[in-house]
Amino acid sequence: LQDKASMVRRLVGLMEEGLKAAAKEVPKLQEGLAEPSPHADFGRRHEEVPDQLHALRDPEAPKGPHTVHAHALVRATLLISKPAVVQSAGADKGALLGEVIKSIGELYAKIQDAAIDKQAEGVTPAPDVTEAEWEQCKALVGGINGKALAQASRSFSTWHEWLSKVAELHSAKAGLLSKRNAAKQAKEQLLAINKQLDAAGLDSPF
């Protein structure tokens, strides 16, 4: 028991160090999303998005390499801000485009407010968003060719940069919460071992 207590104590110490490092990362990411910063540029450019997306809906408009990446941005944004819309639209890209054209200002505000909320444990732009939808969002964002978007539209490019940072922040907060829970469990285990040592009339090794 004494050996086990020593091992768990060392584990708790390592976990607490990891927690300190993780806790510093979250505020840095939130500051990067706040005004003024390069990643906050989408806050000024999101009003340009509807005109850009209308061109994607026009069957006669030329389609470039950026088209598939723009559709991915649309879907990724809605997955975390209006997941029910994505579920009902399915593979209907036109319906998703229409929703973002209509409500990009609302979507931006919901996601941005959730991201920079310093009191919340997670990033929750919509009350019904699930971890599975967050993972789908991250996969879409990670597969987007930023250079192709930048060549086509500065507003699309800043949109991608912003959403990438939001996804990174979500991962950082989720990781921090996981570390906190693991450290709590380890401390509870250590407390239980100490009680066993006391009951056996043995000294704690620390």
10 Å CB burial of residue 56 (0-12, 13-18, 19+) is: middle
pLDDT at 156: 93
Question: How much is the average pLDDT of 115-123?
Answer: 92
Model confidence at 206, pLDDT cuts 50, 70, 90, reads very low
CB-based contacts of 180, cutoff 8 Å, min separation 6: 19
pLDDT at 117 over 90: yes
Contacts 24+ apart (CB under 8 A), 124-130: 125/80, 125/81, 126/80, 126/81, 126/82, 126/83, 128/83, 128/84, 129/79, 129/80, 129/81, 129/83, 130/83
pLDDT confidence band for 98 (50 / 70 / 90): very high
Task: Give the model's confidence band at 176: pLDDT under 50 very low, under 70 low, under 90 confident, else very high.
Answer: confident
For residues 183-205, average pLDDT:
72
What pLDDT, on the 0 to 100 scale, is given for residue 58?
79
% of the chain surpassing 90 pLDDT:
49
Token reading at 77 = 């944004």
173 pLDDT band, cuts 50/70/90, is very high
The pLDDT score that the predictor gives to residue 25 is 86
Q: Which amino acid is at 82?
A: K
- The whole-number pLDDT of residue 69 equals 94
Name every residue whose Cβ is closer than 8 Å to that of residue 106 and which is 6 or more positions away in sequence: none
Lookup: tokens for 8: 């768990």
Asked whether residue 1 carries a pLDDT value surpassing 70, the answer given is no
132 vs 129: CA distance, rounded Å: 8
pTM of the model: 0.80
Residue 139 CB contacts under 8 Å (≥ 6 apart), including other chains:
none
pLDDT at 181 over 90: no
Span of 5-9, 40-44, 127-131 with lowest mean pLDDT = 5-9
